[in-house]
Structure 1
Amino acid sequence: MRSLVMRQHDYRLDGRCVYCRTDMSGYAADEVTDEHIIPRALNGTLVIRNGACAECARLSNKNYEAAALNSDLLVPRRLLELKASRRRGKNQSAPRPLPPVALGDCGVFDLDLAREDYPQFFSLVVFQPAGLLIGVDRGGDLQNPSFQSFNLGGKSRDSDVTTKHTMINGPFAMMLAKIAYCYATAEWGESFFDAKDIRDLLLGRRNDVYNFVGNTESPERLTTRILHGLYVRHRGEWLTVLVHLFASCHDTKDSSDCHPYEVVVGRAL
C-alpha cells in the first residue's frame, strides 16, 4: 500500500468567504464552515478554518465536488479506503461500491469484486495544458484527453479482469480549480495575484474551465512520499498551482518524473 501521509495545516484568513468574499463576521455559527483545500474525502488535511459561507460550500459540493468524488475519483477512494467526506451517522447509506469488472476481455461488466480482490491500479484523465498558458481558448469542452496510470503497489487476487471507470467532463476539472485557488489564497493571499476570473469560474459565472485547468507540458520531478502535493509556480505573467494528486501512487514505472495538473489561478501582481 502506498503512503497516505499528508501535510497538515490550519489557515485562518480575513473573515471573508474564500469564494464570494462576503464578510462573515456577523454570521451565525451554522452559516460558516471550514473549507478543506483538498477534499476531506481524499484525506485532505489543509483546512481554511471558518473559510466559506455555508451557501458557497453547498453550491461547490452540489455543482462539481460530489460528482467528481463519486465518478472520476471513486475507485482510488475505495481502493485506498480514504475517509468519507463527513462522519457517517447510523442512518446514512454505505459507501458506493467499486464498479463491476468483466472477466477477461468479454466486455460484459457484471462481476462485483471486494476491495481486496480488485485490480490494484486506477487511471485519471490527462488534460491539454491550460488555455491561458498557451494562448488558446479551450472553453469548457474536453479535447484530446489521455490517461495516466497509478499503481497501489499490491497484487490483486484476480488479475484476469477488465475494469471500467466512470469519468465525467467538467466536475473533476472544476474541483482541481477549487483546490488550486484555495491553496494559493491560503498560502499567498489575494494581494499576490488577481483571482477575479477563477472566482467567477468557481461561482458559475463562466464555464471555460479548460482555460484554467490542464496538465503540465513538461515533466516535473516531485516527491512521491506524500499522498497529494501542492506547489505554487510563476509561469510568465501567471501564477499557477501544481496539483499532484495521488503522488505516492504515481505510476507503474516508479519514476518521480510526472505531469501533474496545473491550474492558472490568476495574473501575478
Structure 2
Amino acid sequence: MQDNGIKAPNTHRYPPVGACIYCGTTSGRLTDEHVIPKGLGGTLVLPEASCDTCAKITSLFEQHVMRGFMDRGRQAMGIKGRKQHKRPKETALTQTFIQPDNVLLEQEVPVDQAIRVMHLPVLPLPGFLDPLHPPRPDAEQVDITAFDTIQFGTDQFQAIRPHSAVGVQIKDRMAIWDFVRMLAKIAHGYHVATRGMFPLEESPLVPIILGTRHDAKNWIGCIAEHPLPLDRPALHLLNDETLEGDGQSECVALRIKLFATQGTATYILASRIRYLSTG
C-alpha cells in the first residue's frame, strides 16, 4: 500500500445531542464526539455529546490505542489525527532482522523499504450471544483467541533479502483493555447517532467505557457468521440490528469492522438491553 494517505469522505454531523452520552448531564460545556476516533479516519460526528469529565476518560484510552499498537498502521495508511501536524515525518525506521543463526540484528532502513504491521485482537463470541457461556456478573476483562495482522509497505521477502535475514521481529505492547473500551465507545456513539439517546442504565457498555465495570466478555466479542460486506468503499463498516430475546427482553447488537478492506474480524457488541413489560 502506498503512503498516499486516506482520502476520507466529508464529515457527517448528526443533530446535536444536548447531553453527555456517557453520564447524561446537560450542564456545563458539551463537546463534539467522533463516533469512530478521528485518529482512525472517523468522519461521523455527534455535536454537543460529551462533558469535559467524560471526554478526559475517553480521550485517555483512545490515546493509548492510537499512539500505541495502532500507530504504525495509521501512519502507513496516512491517517491524520488531531495532532498529526506536530509530528515530524518519519524517513527511516529501526527494523530487527532475524539472521540465519537466529541472532537479532537491528538496522535502520528507509520507511519505503520497511515492514510495518498492525495487529487487531480477535475475541471469542460474547456471552450475550453464546448459549454455552452466557453473561456472568463475576466475568472479568476479555479473552483473546487470535490476532489479525495487517501488513503495510514492502513485502517481507523483499525487505529481508538485502540484509541476508530469514525474518523480521516486530514486537507490540497491546493495550487490549483500552482497545475494548474504544470498541464500546464506537458502538455506543453509533447507537445514539442512529437511534437517539436512551436510559443509560440500559447500556451494558457505558460502565465499561467509564471504567466502572469490567465484564466486557459478556457484551463485547467477535462473530464469524454474517460478516459485514466487503464490497463497500469504506475504511470502516458499522451496522446495528435489534435481536429479540425470550419475549421478555430485546437487545441492540452493533457490529464493527475496522479497516474493512483488509478482511479483519467483525466485532459485535450489545449496546442496549431492554426488558419488556409483560403486564
Question: What TM-score bracket applies, with the shorter chain setting the length?
Answer: 0.7 to 0.9
SS of residue in 2 equivalent to 1:171: helix
Q: 1:15 maps to which residue?
A: 18
Q: 1:38 maps to which residue?
A: 36
AA partner of residue 103 (structure 1): F
Higher strand share: 2
SS of residue in 1 equivalent to 2:205: helix
Greater C-alpha Rg: 2
Q: 76-85 or 101-110, which moves further after superposition?
A: 101-110
Q: 104-113 or 143-152, which moves further after superposition?
A: 104-113
Separation of aligned partners in 1, 2:30 and 2:18: 10
Match of 1:84 among 81, 103, 112: 81
User: What is the identity percentage for the equivalent residue pairs of Structure 1 and Structure 2?
Assistant: 23
Separation of aligned partners in 2, 1:201 and 1:12: 25
Q: 1:142 maps to which residue?
A: 142
| RMSD, matched Cα | 3.1
AA partner of residue 121 (structure 2): V
Distance 1:60 1:96, change over 3 A: farther
Unaligned ranges ≥5, structure 2: 161-166, 245-249
Distance 1:5 1:154, change over 3 A: farther
Match of 1:104 among 94, 98, 105: 98
Give, in angstroms, the shift of residue 189 of structure 1.
Answer: 1.2
Distance 1:195 1:151, change over 3 A: farther
Q: 51-60 or 128-137, which moves further after superposition?
A: 128-137
AA partner of residue 159 (structure 2): D
Q: 2:247 maps to which residue?
A: none
Q: 1:207 maps to which residue?
A: 214
> Does 1 or 2 have the higher relative contact order (CA < 8 Å, sep 6+)?
1
Give, in angstroms, the shift of residue 61 of structure 1.
Answer: 1.3
Separation of aligned partners in 2, 1:17 and 1:97: 41
Aligned residues: 253
Contact 2:142–2:216 (Cα < 8 Å) also in 1:
no
Contact 1:40–1:86 (Cα < 8 Å) also in 2:
no
Distance 1:100 1:22, change over 3 A: same
Alignment deviations for residues 12-64 of structure 1 (CA, whole Å, 9 cap, x no partner): 2331011111114xx3xxx33211111111111001112211221111112x2
Contact 2:204–2:270 (Cα < 8 Å) also in 1:
no
Distance 1:98 1:144, change over 3 A: farther
Give, in angstroms, the shift of residue 120 of structure 1.
Answer: 5.1
TM-score scaled by length of structure 1: 0.80
TM-score scaled by length of structure 2: 0.77
Give, in angstroms, the shift of residue 144 of structure 1.
Answer: 4.2
